[in-house]
Amino acid sequence: MKIKDRFIEYVKIDTQSAYNPKSVPSTEKQRDLAVLLERQLKDMGAKDVYINDECCLYGRVEANYENCKAPKIGFCAHMDTTPELCGKDIKPRVIENYDGKDIVLNEEAGIVMEREKFDHLGLYIGDDLIVTDGTTLLGADDKAGVAEIMQMLEYFYEHPEVKHGEIQVFFTPDEEVGCLGANIVDETRFNPDFAYTLDAYGLGEFSYECFNAAAADVAIKGVNIHPGLSKNQMKNAILIANEYLNMLPEAETPSHTEMYEGYYHVLDFCGGVELTTMRFYIRDFDRKGFENRKEQMHRIEEFLNYKYGEDTVSVKISDTYYNMAEKILPNFEIVEAMKEGMEKAGFKPYVKPMRGGTDGSVLSQKGIPTPNMCDGSHNCHGRYEYVSIQSMEKITKAIANIVTHFAV
């Protein structure tokens, strides 16, 4: 199967996850892709292929030569797509031999991917791009990664003369809503010496460090009374919530920060006079800075409770993942092998601090050093998402090169 056809087959399956899940998977439709991948893995001779109740998919390809001393290498990608935009009825379209101009995604709706706005399009002139019709996600995050891993396995299945050690795969649900699948990994089924996630973006990008991350839920309790009689009696939760927001550093938000700069991100604000709730993401590369950010949110809580009365403001914070560099730097040879694999595949690697988290962030903390490698996608989580077919082909070669690098 060509990777174009494999990728399109995968993105046509709706696997959108859901925020605030009560169980894993957050949506049962993610299992539709897991079942397809299960069958394809078995067709390629994989062993111990298994989907558990939480929709985590495991598989293993045995080493194909005697006296193999190669390390066990894992590859991981997530099956879900973000809840941020529609992931249903995706209509992928191939733009052949891209000419460097604006791409009209949907003429009727006036949706255009502008070259001037997305200058990275210039890197792919002459390539064949897969895009959407502008009304949905594409799902390249992370079905491009899934397709590349599966295509790599197919290569080794069809070329048994190429030596390789044991390869393990782990396809996860609910990465987009908190790396939930990776958090419950069964280490009796996925236990490589090290692994790689394919969940970075443009061709050549890789990361071995990421944010420390937490989520915070803030609840503001107010007192409602008829506005005509409310002087010195009403306590408006909406206004207090707004005051809370204004006490956070104005320039430390995602839209004001880059590279190694951390932030507070309010992603949900809802309610009324009697109760208003907010949800935040807290991010910082430095562990001390990360702890300071969490403390700052509690200090604001204490101040507003002093001002408006006890239990007016409640802040609950839970850590999501930590900077994977702590576990990867002592095993840096796996990063060097990734860089070499990309160079041999004909493209230039470049490191970029990951301003987000992946399953690899969680796996690294669990003792499986897992740097993150590009899947070739761009403009993820939005209607302008696209991926180059040629990029996916090169990335498939690169991860095959990583496997053969360690075959001794």
pLDDT digits over 286-322, tens only?
A: 999 999 999 999 999 999 999 999 999 999 999 988 8
Rounded Cα gap, residues 153 and 161, in angstroms? 14
Residue 300 half-sphere exposure toward CB, CA atoms < 13 A: 20
pLDDT tens track for 126-171? 999 999 999 999 999 999 999 999 999 999 999 999 999 999 999 9
The string of DSSP codes covering 47-65 is EEEEE-TT--EEEEE---S
pLDDT tens track for 207-227? 999 899 999 999 999 988 888
- 243 a catalytic residue: no
Annotated catalytic residue within 175, 284, 359, 393: 175
Average pLDDT over residues 324-349: 96
Rounded Cα gap, residues 110 and 282, in angstroms? 36
Rounded Cα gap, residues 287 and 204, in angstroms? 28
pLDDT tens track for 30-51? 999 999 999 999 999 999 999 9
pLDDT tens track for 110-125? 999 999 999 999 999 9
Cis peptide before 142 (omega within 30 of 0): yes
Average pLDDT over residues 97-116: 97
Structural tokens at position 311: 């239990």
Annotated catalytic residue within 14, 38, 54, 80: 80
Nearest to 318 by CA among 285, 282, 345: 282
Structural tokens at position 184: 């419950």
Q: What percent of the chain has pLDDT over 70?
A: 100
Rounded Cα gap, residues 220 and 300, in angstroms? 12
- 128 a catalytic residue: no
Structural tokens at position 172: 């996860």
Rounded Cα gap, residues 268 and 272, in angstroms? 14
